[in-house]
Amino acid sequence: GKWAYVEQGGTKTERTVDTASLTSQSTFLKTAQGDRLAITLSYTRTEQEDTNYARIQGNAANGYKNTLGAATERSSGSNSKAFGAVAYPFRTDSGSQGAFRKWIAPIGFVYNFSENTQQPSTGTQNPLLDGTEPPTTHSQTKDFALRYSIPGGQAYFEVRHYQTDQIDNPAGFGSAGDITGLWTNLGYTDPKLTTTTQGSGFAYSDPNSRRLEGWEAQLTANPTRNITLSINYSHPISYIVKESEDRKAYVAAHRGEWEAAAKLPQGYVFPDGRVLQNPTQIQTDINDIDNSLSGLTGGTLENGRERHRINANARYSFREGTFRGLGLVAGVQYRGHQKAG
């Protein structure tokens, strides 16, 4: 016998990405010790097309686009900007400078701003509750830092504050099983209310947004040519900015009908002929939805994130002799407590 390629169902995605970028870098206020100011600007335009092909099963599947039904296509485009500045205001042209001036000259200030758009990974993402296409995920990052390098490369220190807003992350519509269960027990039979089948049932996207911010400090020292010591401390905090906004609105819009049905006797016949199935389960589903939404208020710290991280390591490098080029590294890591609930 011989090996044969056989499709087993699923999907294939064909993706085309076109990107154009323009970058400008400039330096100003030159001195004998280096430039006092450096600025970088960039602009990027990205266009992407995703085509999702459904596979068919069986030995007849022998081509990349051997598809069942129509392909699903999705196009998106984005613009992103970035800006960066590095300043060393204490650098001087003077060849003879006092001790104080000598030691403050390496102080530098850094500021960066950047945008980034994450293009869709598939052409079959569920629509929003109103039937429109979900927005593409995008982010904005800002950071500023103070850095200092001891002349001669003996030590380097930097402390940095950063803030990243991750906007419209892909996410499914939460509590879909509870919601379809509610409509089923209310006697509805429309698949759009009682099933979670993609394309024909209660299957929607409900994007969320997060903010990650914090402080980082790093110290690197080279006490000798062979030894390098490094320690890094970070204090990251992740906030919920937006979570399940469509679900909250949907639950608020229909809560009155659900709660009223939970108080009726089983078998109750509604004016339109629907029959109430299980009022006890209706109340259980309402409680489950409320529990899943608790703690999702904007500004709440996200669960599962460490508040403190420390990395420290030491490296010994052989600069000469038989073992020249060989390095030995030892290090430790510390991860602080995580928020849970």
Give residue-wise pLDDT tens across range 315-330.
999 888 888 888 899 9
Task: Tell me the chain's radius of gyration from C-alpha atoms.
Answer: 29
- Residue in the structure block whose two tokens are 């006697």: 187
Is the per-residue pLDDT at 269 higher than 80? yes
Q: The sheet that has 108-118: what strands, in order across it?
A: 11-31, 34-54, 72-87, 108-118, 137-149, 155-169, 208-221, 227-242, 309-317, 327-335
Residue 54 confidence class, pLDDT cut points 50, 70, 90? low
Residue 125 confidence class, pLDDT cut points 50, 70, 90? confident
Is the per-residue pLDDT at 151 higher than 60? yes
Most confident of 127-141, 143-157, 170-184, 221-235: 170-184
Residue 302 confidence (pLDDT): 65
Is the per-residue pLDDT at 266 higher than 80? yes
Residue 85 confidence class, pLDDT cut points 50, 70, 90? very high
Work out the end-to-end distance of the chain between its first and last CA atoms, rounded to an integer number of angstroms: 57
Residue 58 confidence (pLDDT): 38
Is the per-residue pLDDT at 172 higher than 70? yes
Residue 62 confidence (pLDDT): 38
Residue 65 confidence (pLDDT): 43
Q: Which of 47-61, 70-84, 111-125 has the lowest mean pLDDT?
A: 47-61
Give the predicted TM-score (pTM) of the model.
0.71
Q: Please tell me the distance from the alpha carbon of residue 230 to that of residue 228, in angstroms, as a whole number.
A: 7
Residue 12 confidence (pLDDT): 66
Residue 135 confidence (pLDDT): 85
Cβ burial of 242 (10 Å; 0-12, 13-18, 19+) is middle
DSSP string, 104-118: HTT-EEEEEEEEEEE
Is the per-residue pLDDT at 55 higher than 70? no
Cβ burial of 263 (10 Å; 0-12, 13-18, 19+) is exposed
